[in-house]
Amino acid sequence: MEGIGINLPLLIAFVINFAILFTLLSVFLYKPVLKMLDERQARIKESMEQAEKMRQQAARSEEEIKAHLENARKEGQAIITQATQIGERLKQEARENARRETESLIDKARREIQRERDKAVTELRKEFANIAILAAEKVIGEALDKEKHRKVIDEVLKESTALK
């Protein structure tokens, strides 16, 4: 082999050195690098799974939020409708109360007017009786029994009101 330029003892030394170097590199470098790459691959896979879980959880949360917002919107609309109905009912009750109060005030005013009218008529009768007694005294020229004349005048007044 020397003819082709190969030195056999040197070739064997190179092959042994290569085998030792390959064994050393495989034990001390290749296996730890593979282990590190496997761990990194596992971490990346775990991170991807967590990211997928978080994406799914975010999607569920978004759907829940949409559902809550829709429920809140419906509740708000129901509250607005209810408040409108209550407002209308209160307005109607206020109108009814105002109408009743107005009628009450009108009735009270009518009763007061009637009472004042009756009082004025009574006062007018008394004054008329006194004037009639005074006129009769002047005509007759002497004092008459006031009680007797009052009775007569009251009877005449009663008769005149009965004729109406």
- Determine what percent of the chain is predicted with pLDDT higher than 90: 55
Question: What pLDDT shows up at residue 38?
Answer: 95
Q: Which of 113, 127, 114 has the alpha carbon at shortest distance from 157?
A: 127
Question: What pLDDT shows up at residue 154?
Answer: 76
HEC readout, the chain: CHHHCCCHHHHHHHHHHHHHHHHHHHHHHHHHHHHHHHHHHHHHHHHHHHHHHHHHHHHHHHHHHHHHHHHHHHHHHHHHHHHHHHHHHHHHHHHHHHHHHHHHHHHHHHHHHHHHHHHHHHHHHHHHHHHHHHHHHHHHCCCCCHHHHHHHHHHHHHHHHHHC
Give the span between the Cα atoms of 156 and 133, in whole angstroms.
Answer: 13
- Give the model confidence (pLDDT) of 43-52 as tens digits: 999 999 999 9
The better pLDDT of the pair 90, 32 is held by 90
Low-confidence winner among 37-41, 132-136, 159-163 (lowest mean pLDDT): 159-163
Map tokens 């005048």 to a residue: 153
Going from N- to C-terminal start, the domains of the chain cover 2-163
Q: How far is CA 88 from CA 45, 93, 98, 102, 136, in A?
A: 64, 9, 15, 21, 71
The better pLDDT of the pair 32, 46 is held by 46
- Give the model confidence (pLDDT) of 97-117 as tens digits: 999 999 999 999 999 999 999
- Give the model confidence (pLDDT) of 49-84 as tens digits: 999 999 999 999 999 999 999 999 999 999 999 999
